[in-house]
Amino acid sequence: MADTQYILPNDIGVCSLDCREAFHLLSPTERLYAHHLSRAAWYGGLAVLLQTSPEAPYIYALLSRLFRAQDPDQLRQHALAEGLTEEEYQAFLVYAAGVYSNMGNYKSFGDTKFVPNLPKEKLECVIFGSKAAQQQPEEVRGLWQICGELMFSLEPRLRHLGLGKEGVTTYFSGNCTMEDAKLAQDFLDSQNLSAYNTRLFKEVNKEGKPCYEVRLASVLSTDPAEGLEMTSKLKKYEFQGRHFQVTRGDYAPILQKAVEHLEKAKAYAANHHQEQMLAQYIESFTQGSIEAHKRGSRFWIQDKGPIVESYIGFIESYRDPFGSRGEFEGFVAMVNKAMSAKFERLVASAEQLLKELPWPPAFEKDKFLTPDFTSLDVLTFAGSGIPAGINIPNYDDLRQTEGFKNVSLGNVLALANATQREKLTFLEEEDKDLYIRWKGPSFEVQVGLHELLGHGSGKLFAQDEKGVFNFDHEAVINPETGEQIQSWYRSGETWDSKFSTIASSYEECRAESVGLYLCLNPQVLEIFGFEGDNAEDVIYVNWLNMVRAGLLALEFYTPEASNWRQAHMQARFVILRVLLEAGEGLVTVTPTTGSDGRPDARVRLDRSKIRSVGRPALEQFLRKLQVLKSTGDVVAGRALYEGYAAVTDAPPERFLTLRDTVLLRKESRKLIVQPNTRLEGSEVQLLEYEASAAGLIQSFCERFPEDGPELEEVLTRLAKADARFWGEPQ
């Protein structure tokens, strides 16, 4: 059997996303709006399979054919007859549920490959003897021949997502290196093109020179009539002695399906902002235009307090090894009014709280653009995983001048905070009950501060194409050096393009640090209903949760490549390092031996020193993070951040040794079963499923009832068209 790092255990937690009450409170029109947005999100979310690994679309197609022909219970009888044990069949169900949940065969949280925890030969027997193989023998055998070997392979380069020799990615062709990625980013910057909806493919011409294709995601693949937005960009270029060609049409049939449902959703929009938002999203996905998506995002920002909230597109860049390309995601959710009221009070206090952050006023936005901040119950979240909170849009120019929205996903938070005492690791016994009681409430406070005042704070110093500065470059002083500002963002440069591989983690670290720093404020805690001893317990558990998370983060560090595979966890490790270096016994991590005789560890936080030692250390670190971000000082920013993110076996903590302990005692991330909506006549029905691997599989079997086989054919056709870029599968 495979190393436990690379399997999903049979007892993995599986839970159902409960949105029944919020959905039933929607009006018939709101339900129709939510339904078509959900359909658009689920169709578009299939693109993630093509963004993950060369084999992911084939694995998805194979699993879908198996379970469409026989549901999990029917297939179980066949599998047991073929000689599988109950445990082996359950391992297969868990694997299949994992592929659906992560939209591919790499974990969305950590980017580690997972493989079936049963012998390949046994799974092959089940597949070849299945009803699907009887109905379509050539298709099923063909899919298995393409993906069977890769499904199980743990060749070192295939264990993690990454670029070149570091791992697998389909954002770039297999022959691309980090140098190619940097060159392509410079090219995109020179043309004022965003990388968010692109992939990069490199081929070598007859003269032996590299030629790069920058492919935009769009429905259209041929040049439209002149005058349309993207026409002038679709051509060949010479850049720094290299050949570039900008094309489009990536994921075209999938995006076409998404566009069709966005068009239908327009008929049920609640207002002009929603209509215009959807029109621009349609334009973006049709033309391949990020500028159109930005226009749609402007209307989305202006749509204050909708009952049905949604966002869709190429959004988060965590899984691009270079940190610039967005993974497709789409969510649809309904407002939770009780928790939203608390967030509204936090927003009302935001301008005052921003003044408490440890950087000069010049490093803050000229004007705080009051955002929406709502707690939502998720109906649909299509993509590779579901976060607990979101601050969007990610476009720096919009965030700096027009605003943003914050959302806390209440029903996701409820699942994330469900903790069993017996599975709680790396804490002192006397901390466990307090931790269980206050983890949920403290996390709500942290998410609120993280999203609103973490991601929502700070100014980027920039100079536009006309040479105009957005700050007084002769008067603003760098508080770290006492000198004038020496660096800033030039026209075409963004936070992601400039800080690239560390951008996401650095920004998550900044936002997490803001949350820890401001949770010490009594006003914040009162907003969430905590005073006196309860408030002190919330602070303690919030800080304790962060330092424990910093230790757990070691699971997502790869010693062989000396890199991190998950931005949020790298950020939390960095904060742990900062607090450890504060000294005076504020935080200690002590190796020990568990009751089972195996290595263990304990995290201790001295609550009496949080304000006297922790706060000053965090304040100094947070100020440095913001100053380096504001000024675009990549060299100093990398030196600071990568210094704290380094993992060694130096005493006293010996983090590499602790990593082995963390892997030994890790608990797999829960799988979440999402509902479906179905249109029956003019009414929308909510379809819910049991909290099990079989229930999750069933939810996907019923996700595309009209065109499942067609979609599988589309996915495999698109994958085969690009197979040459990775050498396999063919």
Q: What does the pLDDT read at residue 224?
A: 59
pLDDT of 227 over the 50 cut: no
pLDDT of 226 over the 60 cut: no
475-497 per-position pLDDT tens digit = 999 999 999 999 999 988 999 98
Q: What does the pLDDT read at residue 711?
A: 98
pLDDT of 452 over the 80 cut: yes
Mean per-residue pLDDT of the chain: 94
pLDDT of 8 over the 90 cut: yes
Amino acid symbol at 95: Y
Summarize the confidence of residues 643-667 as an average pLDDT.
94
pLDDT of 195 over the 80 cut: yes
Q: List residues bridging with 106 in a β-sheet.
A: 113
Q: What is the pTM of this model?
A: 0.88
Q: What does the pLDDT read at residue 230?
A: 86
User: Sign of the C-alpha dihedral, residues 194, 197, 202, 206?
Assistant: negative
pLDDT of 634 over the 70 cut: yes
Contacts of residue 700, Cβ cutoff 8 Å, sequence gap at least 6 = 64, 67, 100
Q: List residues bridging with 437 in a β-sheet.
A: none
Residues 498/489, Cβ–Cβ less than 8 Å: yes
Residues 574/509, Cβ–Cβ less than 8 Å: yes
96-151 per-position pLDDT tens digit = 999 999 999 999 988 999 999 999 999 999 999 999 999 999 999 999 999 999 99
277-298 per-position pLDDT tens digit = 999 999 999 999 999 999 999 9
595-633 per-position pLDDT tens digit = 899 999 999 999 999 999 999 999 999 999 999 999 999
Q: Is 377 exposed, middle or buried (0-12, 13-18, 19+ CB in 10 A)?
A: buried
510-533 per-position pLDDT tens digit = 999 999 999 999 999 999 999 999
Per-residue tokens: 597: 């005789």
pLDDT of 717 over the 60 cut: yes
Q: List residues bridging with 246 in a β-sheet.
A: 214
Q: What does the pLDDT read at residue 51?
A: 98
Residues 53/106, Cβ–Cβ less than 8 Å: yes
pLDDT of 223 over the 80 cut: no
Residue ranges per structural domain of the chain: 53-102+116-152+691-725, 336-665
Q: What does the pLDDT read at residue 730?
A: 36
Q: What does the pLDDT read at residue 729?
A: 40
Residues 319/179, Cβ–Cβ less than 8 Å: no
Amino acid symbol at 339: M
Q: How far apart are CA 489 and CA 503, in angstroms?
A: 14
Does 451 qualify as catalytic in the annotation?
A: yes
DSSP 693: H
pLDDT of 414 over the 60 cut: yes
Q: What does the pLDDT read at residue 225?
A: 55
User: pLDDT class for 536, splitting at 50, 70, 90?
Assistant: very high
Which residue in the list 139, 316, 364, 451 is annotated as catalytic?
451
DSSP 683: E
User: Sign of the C-alpha dihedral, residues 185, 188, 189, 190?
Assistant: positive
